[in-house]
Structure 1
Amino acid sequence: MALQILEENGTFELHGSLTTATTKFFIMHFEHMINTVKNITINIDNVNIIDATGVEALKMVMTNALRSNHKFSVIGNGCKDIYDEYKSSVAA
Protein backbone atom coordinates (compact mmCIF):
# COMPACT_ATOMS: atom_id res chain seq x y z
CA MET A 1 0.00 0.00 0.00
CA ALA A 2 1.17 3.54 -0.74
CA LEU A 3 1.77 6.35 1.70
CA GLN A 4 -0.29 9.51 1.53
CA ILE A 5 0.64 12.65 3.48
CA LEU A 6 -2.10 15.17 4.13
CA GLU A 7 -1.67 18.47 5.95
CA GLU A 8 -4.49 19.80 8.10
CA ASN A 9 -4.11 22.78 10.43
CA GLY A 10 -0.35 22.33 10.63
CA THR A 11 -0.49 18.60 11.35
CA PHE A 12 0.76 16.13 8.76
CA GLU A 13 -1.43 13.03 8.66
CA LEU A 14 0.09 9.83 7.34
CA HIS A 15 -2.25 7.37 5.63
CA GLY A 16 -1.12 3.93 4.52
CA SER A 17 2.19 2.17 4.96
CA LEU A 18 5.54 3.50 6.07
CA THR A 19 7.81 0.78 4.75
CA THR A 20 10.94 0.31 2.69
CA ALA A 21 8.87 1.07 -0.42
CA THR A 22 7.66 4.47 0.86
CA THR A 23 10.41 5.82 3.12
CA LYS A 24 12.32 7.64 0.36
CA PHE A 25 9.20 9.69 -0.45
CA PHE A 26 8.57 10.26 3.28
CA ILE A 27 12.12 11.49 3.92
CA MET A 28 12.19 13.77 0.86
CA HIS A 29 8.83 15.29 1.81
CA PHE A 30 9.81 16.06 5.38
CA GLU A 31 13.30 17.28 4.50
CA HIS A 32 11.52 19.91 2.41
CA MET A 33 9.09 20.63 5.27
CA ILE A 34 11.98 21.13 7.70
CA ASN A 35 13.18 23.95 5.45
CA THR A 36 9.67 25.41 5.20
CA VAL A 37 7.97 25.21 8.62
CA LYS A 38 9.23 25.51 12.21
CA ASN A 39 6.89 23.03 13.88
CA ILE A 40 6.32 19.58 12.46
CA THR A 41 3.61 17.35 13.93
CA ILE A 42 3.02 13.95 12.35
CA ASN A 43 -0.20 12.08 13.10
CA ILE A 44 0.14 8.31 12.70
CA ASP A 45 -3.47 7.35 13.46
CA ASN A 46 -3.97 6.10 9.90
CA VAL A 47 -0.70 4.23 9.46
CA ASN A 48 -1.62 0.59 9.02
CA ILE A 49 1.88 -0.88 8.79
CA ILE A 50 5.40 0.27 9.57
CA ASP A 51 8.59 -1.71 9.29
CA ALA A 52 12.07 -1.16 10.72
CA THR A 53 12.99 1.07 7.76
CA GLY A 54 9.94 3.23 8.47
CA VAL A 55 10.91 3.62 12.12
CA GLU A 56 14.45 4.58 11.08
CA ALA A 57 13.00 7.15 8.65
CA LEU A 58 10.92 8.70 11.45
CA LYS A 59 13.98 8.87 13.69
CA MET A 60 16.09 10.38 10.90
CA VAL A 61 13.55 13.11 10.11
CA MET A 62 13.17 13.84 13.83
CA THR A 63 16.93 14.14 14.28
CA ASN A 64 17.24 16.48 11.29
CA ALA A 65 14.36 18.65 12.53
CA LEU A 66 15.84 18.93 16.02
CA ARG A 67 19.30 19.76 14.62
CA SER A 68 17.66 22.61 12.72
CA ASN A 69 16.03 23.84 15.96
CA HIS A 70 12.55 22.88 14.80
CA LYS A 71 9.92 21.33 17.01
CA PHE A 72 9.02 17.78 16.00
CA SER A 73 6.38 15.47 17.40
CA VAL A 74 4.57 12.29 16.50
CA ILE A 75 1.01 11.93 17.73
CA GLY A 76 -1.73 9.33 17.44
CA ASN A 77 -2.06 5.67 18.11
CA GLY A 78 -1.09 4.43 14.68
CA CYS A 79 -0.48 0.76 14.24
CA LYS A 80 0.93 -1.50 16.92
CA ASP A 81 3.90 -2.24 14.61
CA ILE A 82 5.42 1.20 15.21
CA TYR A 83 5.70 0.57 18.93
CA ASP A 84 7.05 -2.96 18.45
CA GLU A 85 9.64 -1.77 15.90
CA TYR A 86 10.64 1.20 18.04
CA LYS A 87 11.06 -0.95 21.14
CA SER A 88 13.18 -3.48 19.27
CA SER A 89 15.38 -0.78 17.70
CA VAL A 90 15.92 0.89 21.08
CA ALA A 91 16.75 -2.42 22.73
CA ALA A 92 19.27 -3.39 20.04
Structure 2
Amino acid sequence: MDLKITHHNNLFKVQGILHKGNVHVFKTEFSNVFENLNSVILNIESLTSIDRYGVNALAQLHNESLKRKKDLSIIGMGCDDLYEHFKSEENAA
Protein backbone atom coordinates (compact mmCIF):
# COMPACT_ATOMS: atom_id res chain seq x y z
CA MET A 1 0.00 0.00 0.00
CA ASP A 2 1.26 3.43 -0.86
CA LEU A 3 0.29 6.45 1.26
CA LYS A 4 -3.28 7.18 2.34
CA ILE A 5 -4.26 10.04 4.64
CA THR A 6 -7.78 10.34 6.00
CA HIS A 7 -9.15 12.74 8.56
CA HIS A 8 -12.16 13.62 10.62
CA ASN A 9 -12.07 16.99 12.35
CA ASN A 10 -8.56 17.22 13.84
CA LEU A 11 -7.73 13.47 13.78
CA PHE A 12 -5.58 12.42 10.82
CA LYS A 13 -4.82 8.79 10.07
CA VAL A 14 -1.72 8.00 8.01
CA GLN A 15 -1.66 4.57 6.37
CA GLY A 16 0.89 2.76 4.24
CA ILE A 17 4.40 3.83 3.31
CA LEU A 18 5.75 7.38 3.64
CA HIS A 19 8.81 7.81 1.42
CA LYS A 20 10.62 10.20 -0.89
CA GLY A 21 8.27 9.42 -3.78
CA ASN A 22 5.10 10.46 -1.94
CA VAL A 23 6.26 12.81 0.82
CA HIS A 24 4.85 15.70 -1.25
CA VAL A 25 1.35 14.28 -0.63
CA PHE A 26 1.96 14.39 3.13
CA LYS A 27 3.36 17.92 2.96
CA THR A 28 0.45 19.14 0.83
CA GLU A 29 -2.11 17.62 3.19
CA PHE A 30 -0.58 19.38 6.20
CA SER A 31 0.70 22.57 4.54
CA ASN A 32 -1.90 24.89 6.09
CA VAL A 33 -3.36 22.65 8.76
CA PHE A 34 -2.48 24.97 11.64
CA GLU A 35 -4.24 27.91 10.01
CA ASN A 36 -7.55 26.11 10.54
CA LEU A 37 -6.91 23.95 13.62
CA ASN A 38 -5.44 24.65 17.06
CA SER A 39 -4.62 21.00 17.66
CA VAL A 40 -3.85 18.08 15.38
CA ILE A 41 -3.79 14.41 16.29
CA LEU A 42 -1.75 12.28 13.90
CA ASN A 43 -2.41 8.55 14.13
CA ILE A 44 0.50 6.58 12.66
CA GLU A 45 -0.68 3.13 13.78
CA SER A 46 -1.11 2.01 10.16
CA LEU A 47 2.15 3.51 8.90
CA THR A 48 4.13 0.45 7.79
CA SER A 49 7.35 2.09 6.62
CA ILE A 50 8.99 5.50 6.56
CA ASP A 51 12.27 6.74 5.11
CA ARG A 52 14.36 9.74 6.13
CA TYR A 53 12.29 12.06 3.92
CA GLY A 54 9.15 10.99 5.75
CA VAL A 55 10.83 11.48 9.11
CA ASN A 56 11.89 14.97 8.01
CA ALA A 57 8.31 15.75 6.98
CA LEU A 58 7.07 14.74 10.45
CA ALA A 59 9.81 16.85 12.06
CA GLN A 60 8.83 19.83 9.91
CA LEU A 61 5.21 19.43 10.95
CA HIS A 62 6.33 19.32 14.58
CA ASN A 63 8.45 22.46 14.12
CA GLU A 64 5.53 24.24 12.48
CA SER A 65 3.30 23.39 15.46
CA LEU A 66 5.89 24.82 17.85
CA LYS A 67 6.36 27.95 15.76
CA ARG A 68 2.62 28.62 15.64
CA LYS A 69 2.09 27.53 19.27
CA LYS A 70 -0.37 24.82 18.24
CA ASP A 71 -0.74 21.31 19.64
CA LEU A 72 0.49 18.28 17.69
CA SER A 73 0.03 14.77 19.07
CA ILE A 74 1.42 11.72 17.30
CA ILE A 75 -0.28 8.54 18.46
CA GLY A 76 -0.02 4.86 17.62
CA MET A 77 2.86 2.46 17.61
CA GLY A 78 3.51 3.03 13.92
CA CYS A 79 6.48 1.48 12.21
CA ASP A 80 9.80 0.58 13.79
CA ASP A 81 11.71 2.77 11.33
CA LEU A 82 10.39 5.93 12.94
CA TYR A 83 11.20 4.85 16.48
CA GLU A 84 14.66 3.68 15.44
CA HIS A 85 15.32 7.12 13.96
CA PHE A 86 14.41 8.95 17.14
CA LYS A 87 16.20 6.36 19.27
CA SER A 88 19.40 6.90 17.28
CA GLU A 89 18.99 10.68 17.55
CA GLU A 90 18.63 10.32 21.31
CA ASN A 91 21.80 8.22 21.55
CA ALA A 92 23.75 10.69 19.43
CA ALA A 93 22.94 13.59 21.76
Please give the TM-score of this superposition, normalised by the length of structure 1: 0.88
Q: Report the 3-state secondary structure (helix = DSSP H, G, I; strand = E; otherwise coil) of the residue aligned with 1:47.
A: strand
**Is the contact between residue 10 and residue 37 of structure 2 (CA under 8 Å) also seen in structure 1?**
no
Give the TM-score normalised by structure 2.
0.87
SS in 2 for 1:64: helix
* CA shift for structure 1 position 6: 0.8
* Contact 1:51/1:85 (<8 A) preserved: no
| C-alpha separation in 2, matches of 1:71 and 1:12 | 13
Task: State the one-letter code of the partner of 1:35.
Answer: E
The equivalent of 1:3 in structure 2 is 3
Stretches of structure 1 lacking an aligned partner (at least 5 in a row):
none
Aligned length: 92
| Runs of 4+ residues deviating >4 angstroms | none
Tell me if 1:75 matches 2:93.
Answer: no
Map of 1:44 onto structure 2 = 44
Write out aligned runs for 1:1-92 (5 A): 1-90=1-90, 91=92
Q: Which runs of 5+ in 2 are unaligned?
A: none
Q: Distance in 1 between matches of 2:25 and 2:86?
A: 20
In structure 2, C-alpha distance between the alignment counterparts of 1:22 and 1:87, rounded to whole Å:
24
